[in-house]
Structure 1
Amino acid sequence: MAQQTGGNSRSRLHQIGSLFANRNERSAATEESSLEVDVVDSVRDVEKTQWNEIVERSSRGSVFHRYEWLEAIETGLGYTPRHLVVTKDGNTIGGMPNFVVEIEKTPFDRLSSLYPGFGGPLLPTDTEASLERVIDAIPRLCRGRTIVHQIRGLDMSYLRYNDALQTHGYRPYRRECRFLLDLTKGYDELLEGMSRSRRRGIEHGQDVDYEVVEEEITRENLRRFHRTYEGVMDRVGGAVYPFSFFNELRAMEDRLLLLTIRINGEYAGGMLELLDDEHETVHGFFAAVPRAYFDDHASELLYDHVFQWGIEHGYETYDFGSTNTNFEDGVYRFKEGFGGSPVPVLVWERGCSPLWPLVKAGRSLYWPYYTEVS
């Protein structure tokens, strides 16, 4: 159910003034007063088509804002939604998705927009007034064990909100980056821009008997991929998303690309990519190649295939996903070798509890390269 958190009726003065105003004009104060911000405890309380239309109208809307992604997080991961929906004169004009998620290595939670993925406000109209209302609503959502609100912006366009966010107590920090590959260069130039080790990996991989197949998004194919993904994550000590999340993603199959590689006729892993048509970007979100196929360069062959697939289908960018900003890290070096440009992941945090400074101080012990930007 929706819970109203903002909005004021027009004052008597504004009502009288409106009698003398041009019928096609409204004062800024009157427009602002008609805005309402509601909290919804399930994305299913929002009309699907209406929400996705806002995503598509906003220049910052992405596949991670879409109704289907939010529903998969809610039902497949079991995260608690605390979405904010902005309405004007009864019409939905914007919003900001949020989920309550655990803070690593603590008994506390954070309100995140958005995890997994990237979020932030979608305010294509009445931006200034809507942003003010949305920010004002946040403290009421951070109670009990929820001690901080976090915004994870997808791209540099979210810098437009930096001053407003910092004015309201948000602090930016950087810990992660993403490598972006410009697919508009064409395949030959991409190959030329790779490190010698990446090019050699692709060349040596092409000497083996291999095949990369675009799979249908079926429960069986996702189950096979998930088993491999689970094994890889267990080996590296990473967090594993349950199969229920992958299965829920079937509702957005037109935004998924599932690739399988077979070497000598045997299943050798795969990739599950997200197609961000709003930004003409392919997001490399899940990859799973068993160690047994490292020497066959299965990973390089999969990436080589998805780059060519993206070019052929008119996408402009390949996004390798988040990685730590440590050049000594193996994942960082592997992604860097494909020639992409590193860009910071924009994150802002706003403490909502006296406990937050203590948790933030403790975080620096297990995130030694945590950096807050003043």
Structure 2
Amino acid sequence: MAQKTGGNPRSRLHRIGSLFAKHGRTARTEGSNLEVTVVDSIRDIGRAQWNGIVERSSRGSVFHRYEWLEAIETGLGYTPRHLEVTKDGNTIGGLPNFVVEIEKTPFTRLSSLYPGFGGPLLPTDTADALERVIGTAPSLCRGRTIVHQIRGLDSSYLRYNDALQSRGYRPYRRECRFLLDLTKGHDALLADMSRSRRRGIEHGRTVDHEVVEEEITGETLRRFYRTYERVMDRVDGDVYPLSFFEALQAMDDRLLLLTLRIDGEYAGGMLEVLDDERDAIHGFFAAVPREYFDDHASELLYDHVFRWGIDHGYGTYDFGSTNTDFGDGVFRFKEGFGGRAVPVFVWERGCSPLWPLVKAGRALYWPYYT
């Protein structure tokens, strides 16, 4: 691919020409002046320009924003392969991507987006731009990168399903999210909870406790991180490095850090992501030590964030992704709060002869999914 020249210099850019323009049923290509550029750092696009696209797109979310992408790039060290769509030299859309590991294999996938949820942002020239980006993305899969994956935040991404499947993308469903409708009010939320979750909140309130909304600083994040790391090690979960949490300070206006104290002692916390684009709160990171389970520390923290969300005008609480096994303890715990289960909308397109083998192995590991 030729190095992009002319205009404002960018550190590492590649232009995709018309190689993909004539494929597909819906693309309008004659006379098209759209260009797709591979961007190897979100910094090459710029904060204001990229966030403007997010804010103009009806599918934009906090996970699309410049600050979240930069935190993944700098804090996790994942390799960016973003696609920028331009028209007459102006950025009009894009598809953020990172190269991430495929669990339990030596291979990687190109993902839009992980961690979080991504997918195309195409507020204008949608049909042509969509054809360009989904025609281009698989060409970025090389070597150990054997599949392109799109993780849409919600059902609005179903509008792209036919176009994606016509390009060889296949739906993949093995995760769900529980969404809680905060507009019902706190009393209605309590009434819809399972007896065990409701009793947990009631019993927790009898304990000498307080929940503090912390300022996002290096010190408060490090204190939260120490407990988070210990909890994730206990449950054999993937631990994000401290550098990722430190990078998130750049978006401190989109974070809510809660600390729970019981009898004056630190009893855990939660780091919530505020999705103002979707009027939603995402429960991404929680850290409650085992020694406070009997005090119902988790229920106290969740109850506080529900009430905080209602008071601040948010419409939805999102518990984050979980597997779709009703026998799983995390699934049952989240389900008990009365939320609505919705699938995580994922499409995949294999880009290597090795992908069918990895996919077959995945089906053996997760026998209910293909």
Q: What TM-score does the superposition give when structure 1 sets the normalisation length?
A: 0.93
Contact 1:259 1:272 in 2 (8 A): yes
Residue 79 (str. 1) matches residue 74 (str. 2): no
SS at match of 1:307: helix
Aligned residue identity for 1:209: D
Separation (CA, whole Å) in 2 of partners of 1:29 and 1:40: 23
Cα drift, residue 33 of structure 1? 1.7
| Residue in 2 that maps onto 1:265 | 264
Cα drift, residue 47 of structure 1? 1.5
| Residue in 1 that maps onto 2:343 | 344
Matches within 5 A, 1:7-86: 7=18, 33-86=32-85
| Residue in 1 that maps onto 2:239 | 240
Aligned residue identity for 1:73: I
Separation (CA, whole Å) in 2 of partners of 1:119 and 1:286: 19
SS at match of 1:274: strand
Contact 2:29 2:128 in 1 (8 A): no
Separation (CA, whole Å) in 1 of partners of 2:97 and 2:166: 21
Contact 1:50 1:92 in 2 (8 A): yes
SS at match of 1:294: helix
Moved over 2 A (4+): none
| Residue in 2 that maps onto 1:2 | 13
The worse-fitting range, judged by mean Cα deviation, of 255-264 and 139-148 is 139-148
The count of residues paired between Structure 1 and Structure 2 equals 351
| Residue in 1 that maps onto 2:103 | 104
Aligned residue identity for 2:81: R
Separation (CA, whole Å) in 2 of partners of 1:271 and 1:138: 35
| Residue in 1 that maps onto 2:118 | 119
SS at match of 2:157: helix
Aligned residue identity for 2:197: R
SS at match of 2:168: coil
SS at match of 1:271: strand
Cα drift, residue 6 of structure 1? 2.8
Residue 211 to residue 158, structure 1, CA distance change in 2 (3 Å): same
Cα drift, residue 135 of structure 1? 1.1
Matches within 5 A, 1:179-194: 179-194=178-193
| Residue in 2 that maps onto 1:169 | 168
Matches within 5 A, 1:319-338: 319-338=318-337
**Percent identity of paired positions between Structure 1 and Structure 2:** 81
Cα drift, residue 173 of structure 1? 1.2
Per-residue CA deviation, residues 66-89 of structure 1 (Å, 9 max, x unaligned), is: 000000000000000000000000
Separation (CA, whole Å) in 2 of partners of 1:151 and 1:273: 23
SS at match of 2:325: coil
Separation (CA, whole Å) in 1 of partners of 2:208 and 2:29: 68
Contact 1:56 1:278 in 2 (8 A): yes
Aligned residue identity for 1:340: G
Contact 1:37 1:87 in 2 (8 A): yes
Contact 2:216 2:252 in 1 (8 A): yes
Aligned residue identity for 1:3: H
Contact 2:95 2:121 in 1 (8 A): yes
Separation (CA, whole Å) in 2 of partners of 1:191 and 1:53: 38
Cα drift, residue 181 of structure 1? 0.2
Structure 1, unaligned stretches of length 5 or more?
9-27
Contact 2:63 2:118 in 1 (8 A): yes
Aligned residue identity for 1:211: E
SS at match of 2:63: coil
Separation (CA, whole Å) in 2 of partners of 1:139 and 1:364: 22
Structure 2, unaligned stretches of length 5 or more?
1-11, 20-27
Contact 2:182 2:306 in 1 (8 A): yes
Separation (CA, whole Å) in 2 of partners of 1:6 and 1:299: 52
Separation (CA, whole Å) in 2 of partners of 1:2 and 1:185: 48
Contact 2:138 2:349 in 1 (8 A): no
Name which one, 1 or 2, has greater alpha-carbon Rg.
1
Cα drift, residue 7 of structure 1? 4.6
Cα drift, residue 2 of structure 1? 1.4
Cα drift, residue 366 of structure 1? 1.7
SS at match of 2:321: strand
Per-residue CA deviation, residues 317-372 of structure 1 (Å, 9 max, x unaligned), is: 0000000101110000000000000000000000000100000001112222224x
Separation (CA, whole Å) in 1 of partners of 2:243 and 2:287: 17
SS at match of 2:38: strand
SS at match of 2:64: coil
Separation (CA, whole Å) in 2 of partners of 1:41 and 1:91: 18
| Residue in 2 that maps onto 1:16 | none
Separation (CA, whole Å) in 1 of partners of 2:202 and 2:223: 28
| Residue in 1 that maps onto 2:200 | 201
| Residue in 1 that maps onto 2:129 | 130
Per-residue CA deviation, residues 138-181 of structure 1 (Å, 9 max, x unaligned), is: 12200111000000000000000000000000000100000000
Aligned residue identity for 1:4: R
| Residue in 2 that maps onto 1:23 | none
Cα drift, residue 29 of structure 1? 5.2
| Residue in 1 that maps onto 2:23 | none
Q: What TM-score does the superposition give when structure 2 sets the normalisation length?
A: 0.94
